[in-house]
A and B are shown apart, each in its own frame.
Chain A
């Protein structure tokens, strides 16, 4: 009788173990921390309860919000359309049905991968340098990676939902397109609609971050308020943003539920918003100087010099370290809070906490943390990790609500404590899909390191922003190539992990 006795953590425990990363992170923050920033943090917290109602400020913030919303809505709309088309072209099922071979799908996927590997902020800063400040620059910066990212998710969804009716319909001898429309589209339409809806929330956050880095809109206003320590003004903007997010969520809900009045109101609201915001947003066609960048890139000497300018091991190592720490924090914090406070009633309050963490753009939360501690990699990781734990927390609570609390009640009746019941019940039940989503989130976090690199004064993101500021184009090019390589490597690893879990991440 051979019984293996190796340590093999079960899935619910794997959701908690990354929390061990918090120990060194907190230890380093305590070492690097200083009490000097505490009054500022208290002022920041007070600002939430006493936002400024100055009419001029509110007018400015409203105009900023309009710009952010229009950038988000237009880029979301365009990337959704492109994403669906490219997603179908990247589907193995489609090409196998039409041509009998899936190789064009693989080709499309490979061609699109560099576009999604580059963060929208990098696209934004690159396009800003080439074409100058223009509304289309911000929109294009979001559309390019989002279209490629949505294409990948949609192609995966189509391939995952391959209908058992497909071979039956093919055998009827009907045209391939008709077969696909009958067997595939109805099966995936719900998943695609959900994903497209989720991307609006992401587009809004991306538009905000672009604003933080100078591309206009509410993000710029929030950044300026934070830099001048006007927390009451900053909170006026954050509350406006929160209201906008709730309204957008409701609009999306009514669109998904196909409520006729909701749809009409949504369309009218969006048209009115786009119309009025165009008064404040420059949407003229940009005239660029791409040629000058290409001229610089033509100099081979600069290329080689730029390549040996950096200590690549240190730069890539610090990027990976931020990613690892932030991923651990983002994955472990929601289940830890759930077990700290396990009851159906507490889920609503936990949702509010996750919403608040998503509300504040990562660069701003990183700057806020900077008032309490010296710049360091753990600080950058904490800012990034907490923001993404807002997203992970939302996913965890949604999954648990869908699964129900029956298992916890059953275990409690058997004598288990409430915490044990939630660990072995609801958390265990959702752990597989949660970990699959966490692996997808690691990819996103790796891309997002560019946003917080400035806080850690380290990583590819920091170097990239530095190179862009000094128009060092060859270094920019090498850094972008490094980012693409890392992101694609990360995607390959997380795909393997998802295969091991036997669960594809349901990217909302």
Chain B
């Protein structure tokens, strides 16, 4: 399998100890660990929001810093705080996922009204969002609907690698299942979760403890005691 993302002895201050990691195409990876273990830091290093103090990160064999904007859009993130543009409507927010494929004129036209409606309705259907919400301001949506708008935006981006930072927190079981199904449909994904009961849905489990990568195994080989240890306070 092709290596998508490679971390070589990456560390960041006190937050993450030297970590090496490769995520391949068609690989679905879950990231577990107690609060403060370094999950968000690792996700942010993977999408380039944070720069490592040591080590290097490569995307398809190319250093992160040298990626073009078209290459950067291959990595998409579902942020824990969603990061929707609060002043825009649902359709405008969803279309903002496609900014990487278009020019400034398209971006301006998107702010003028409904653009690429069919493409938006398709991704809305994928995340079970009512089409009638297309023109609604995102500030008028419920928490679950907002989560699905963020997910639809990620689908519009069409990334090769989907990253998600605790995407299921505060969601009811039905929406949580839908969100997870959608994230697992990406060619590759790395998702941080507080749900050890869901690891069987992934092909690989990473465990972080106190900023160190202490577990990297297939889910069927992991014991309950290992999972408990990950979440035990030192």
The answer to whether B112 and A7 touch across the interface, beta carbons within 8 angstroms, is: yes
User: Is B53 an interface residue when CB atoms closer than 8 A count as contact?
Assistant: no
Interface residues of A in 403-421 (CB under 8 A from B): 407, 409-417, 419-421
CA distance A310 to B111 in the complex (A): 44
Q: Mark B96-139, 1 if CB is under 8 A from A, else 0.
A: 11011101100110011110010001000000000110110000
Q: Which residues of B contact A431 (CB under 8 A)?
A: 87
Q: Which residues of A contact B113 (CB under 8 A)?
A: 5-9
The answer to whether A3 and B114 touch across the interface, beta carbons within 8 angstroms, is: yes
Q: Within the complex, what minimum Cβ distance (angstroms) separates B5 from chain A?
A: 14
Q: Within the complex, what minimum Cβ distance (angstroms) separates A7 from chain B?
A: 4
The answer to whether A3 and B100 touch across the interface, beta carbons within 8 angstroms, is: no
Interface residues of B in 46-88 (CB under 8 A from A): 47-49, 69-73, 75-77, 79, 83, 85-88
Q: Within the complex, what minimum Cβ distance (angstroms) separates A460 from chain B?
A: 36
Chain A residue, CB-CB nearest to B139 = A502
Q: Which residues of A contact B132 (CB under 8 A)?
A: 1-3
Q: Mark A409-450, 1 if CB is under 8 A from B, else 0.
A: 111111111011101110011011000000000000000000
Q: Which residues of B contact A2 (CB under 8 A)?
A: 132
Q: Which residues of B contact A82 (CB under 8 A)?
A: none
User: Is B92 an interface residue when CB atoms closer than 8 A count as contact?
Assistant: yes
Interface class of chain A by DSSP = helix
Q: Which residues of B contact A416 (CB under 8 A)?
A: 69, 96, 99-100, 107
User: Is B11 an interface residue when CB atoms closer than 8 A count as contact?
Assistant: no
Residue count of chain B within 8 Å CB distance of chain A: 39
Binds B, one of A10-18, A169-177, A190-198, A218-226: A10-18
CA distance A12 to B96 in the complex (A): 13
User: Is B89 an interface residue when CB atoms closer than 8 A count as contact?
Assistant: yes
The answer to whether B107 and A415 touch across the interface, beta carbons within 8 angstroms, is: no
Contact of B83 among A1, A16, A407 (CB under 8 A): A407
The answer to whether A415 and B101 touch across the interface, beta carbons within 8 angstroms, is: yes
The answer to whether A423 and B107 touch across the interface, beta carbons within 8 angstroms, is: yes
User: Is B210 an interface residue when CB atoms closer than 8 A count as contact?
Assistant: no
Q: Which residues of A contact B192 (CB under 8 A)?
A: none
Q: If A414-B100, A415-B100 touch, does A429 touch B85 (CB 8 Å cutoff)?
A: yes
CA distance A415 to B86 in the complex (A): 20
The answer to whether A11 and B101 touch across the interface, beta carbons within 8 angstroms, is: no
CA distance A47 to B224 in the complex (A): 79
Q: Which residues of B contact A429 (CB under 8 A)?
A: 85-87
Q: Within the complex, what minimum Cβ distance (angstroms) separates B131 from chain A?
A: 5
The answer to whether A417 and B104 touch across the interface, beta carbons within 8 angstroms, is: yes
CA distance A417 to B99 in the complex (A): 8
Q: Which residues of B contact A9 (CB under 8 A)?
A: 111-113
CA distance A218 to B5 in the complex (A): 65
Q: Mark A1-35, 1 if CB is under 8 A from B, else 0.
A: 11111111111110010000000000000000000
Residue among B85, B86, B88, B132 with most chain A CB within 10 A: B85
CA distance A429 to B107 in the complex (A): 16
The answer to whether A420 and B47 touch across the interface, beta carbons within 8 angstroms, is: no
Q: Mark B183-213, 1 if CB is under 8 A from A, else 0.
A: 0000000000000000000000000000000
Q: Within the complex, what minimum Cβ distance (angstroms) separates A302 from chain B?
A: 54
Q: If A13-B111, A429-B87 touch, does A3 touch B99 (CB 8 Å cutoff)?
A: no
User: Is B147 an interface residue when CB atoms closer than 8 A count as contact?
Assistant: no
Q: Within the complex, what minimum Cβ distance (angstroms) separates A114 from chain B?
A: 36
CA distance A423 to B92 in the complex (A): 12
Q: Which residues of B contact A13 (CB under 8 A)?
A: 108, 111-112
Q: Within the complex, what minimum Cβ distance (angstroms) separates B17 from chain A?
A: 24
Q: If A3-B114, A414-B100 touch, does A420 touch B83 (CB 8 Å cutoff)?
A: no
Q: Which residues of A contact B49 (CB under 8 A)?
A: 409-410, 413
Contact of B48 among A1, A5, A413, A423 (CB under 8 A): A413
Pairs A–B under 8 Å by Cβ, sample size 9: A3-B134, A4-B134, A8-B135, A412-B72, A413-B77, A414-B77, A415-B72, A416-B107, A421-B99
Further contacts, 11 of them, CB under 8 A, given A413-B48, A428-B86: A4-B135, A8-B113, A9-B112, A13-B108, A412-B69, A413-B47, A417-B99, A417-B103, A420-B104, A424-B99, A424-B107
Q: Which 3 A-B pairs have the closest CB atoms?
A: A415-B100, A415-B73, A416-B99
